Structure 1
């Protein structure tokens, strides 16, 4: 299985938070936990899981993020692809990532998910690979109910599915991910929700306060 990590967003909510706090804005993927940028934590966790190849999708702030990957010697470990037009929604970023290479099993993950453990990633992969109809399956981190799901409410990345399965749903959508997943469920695609290994995996980093909370949890657990 390969992985697509999206790092192409506008970072607008974090920028707004820094502005309101009268602080110099920092891209959230550059914010550090245990003295390491968020995006590096995410990539390293994916690398520790049962993943063969990793593609990182860039868009907004591509030079800054590329610089982080270079600084931490990640350019030999991941493939970089870029949105030619940076002003696109998440669905278009994933569509661009799959262009010309949709015939593959994929883990889809956001670069701002440093809490997702290799164990949880492998649990999603194992459920996906063990299903007799995996080409019609999305194995996803459950936000509410686990097991077979009949609703995409609250769902997003990370998830595993066959590239071609989601590819046609992405064409012309230009939206966030949840409407895509809702349409897939409506069409009979099977969704299986995987329980998080730790509740911290269910937390998002959209705002500065959320970053501080996750930073505190992770650093306390690591003894720093």
Structure 2
């Protein structure tokens, strides 16, 4: 089964910017912050892309908007060395996450798409692979969503708190994303209410559930990863 991935990386960076200003730290897009590992000095978004590629996807579409030129400079080495990685840009930049996700899905070559955010470097390739494998272990993967859990795991009875990453047949989401300019959770709620089965996948490490929204989140992750 061929699988695409979509990484949304088009945000305004507003919460991180506010926390950086409050702390007197130089303003920088969180996606371009360093994310040092034992054998790597890459940025947040580079690490996210690496982990997704290691999960075995056949295509990786990075959707840009705000800070597009800065991010493209950082990703130049990846796009040159790995033809699975493709960059698309939003026609408009002051848009919600749903617009970016729709743009990525429209450019994907395959029916099944792993959707993630560019600021999720803590999620390991093992967890991404578990999310993918869990979908195809379900009875009806074409009408199901496999998603990183936020509360319960297994077959879910509520969409509360759910977001990315997830994998699904892109046709499940295309109709719900059209004409939308919103965050993702309200759309996930609509999909859930339509009767689509959601399967929550347990994280490999608790730190994978922490979102990088503010500088404090970033610092906590660096101190504990």
TM-score range (shorter-chain normalised) is: over 0.9
The residue correspondences of 1:1-224 to structure 2 (distance < 5 A) are: 1-34=3-36, 35-70=41-76, 73-76=77-80, 77=82, 78-99=85-106, 101=108, 104-218=111-225
When structure 1 is superposed on structure 2, of 99-108 and 186-195 the one drifting more is: 99-108
Deviation at 1:13, TM superposition (A): 0.6
Deviation at 1:46, TM superposition (A): 0.7
Unaligned runs of 5+ in 1: 219-224
Unaligned runs of 5+ in 2: none
Structure 2 CA distance for partners of 1:80 and 1:111, relative to 1, 3 Å? same
Contact 2:144 2:197 in 1 (8 A): yes
Contact 2:98 2:180 in 1 (8 A): yes
User: Deviations along 1:80-111, whole A, 9 cap, x unmatched?
Assistant: 00101001100011111122547510100001
Root-mean-square deviation (Å)? 1.2
Question: Which secondary structure does the structure 2 equivalent of 1:98 belong to?
Answer: helix
Instruction: Measure, in 2, the Cα distance between the counterparts of 1:140 and 1:158.
Output: 6
Q: How many residues align?
A: 216
User: Deviations along 1:202-221, whole A, 9 cap, x unmatched?
Assistant: 01100000000101112xxx
User: Deviations along 1:6-44, whole A, 9 cap, x unmatched?
Assistant: 100010011111111222201101111213210011011
TM, length-normalised to structure 2: 0.93
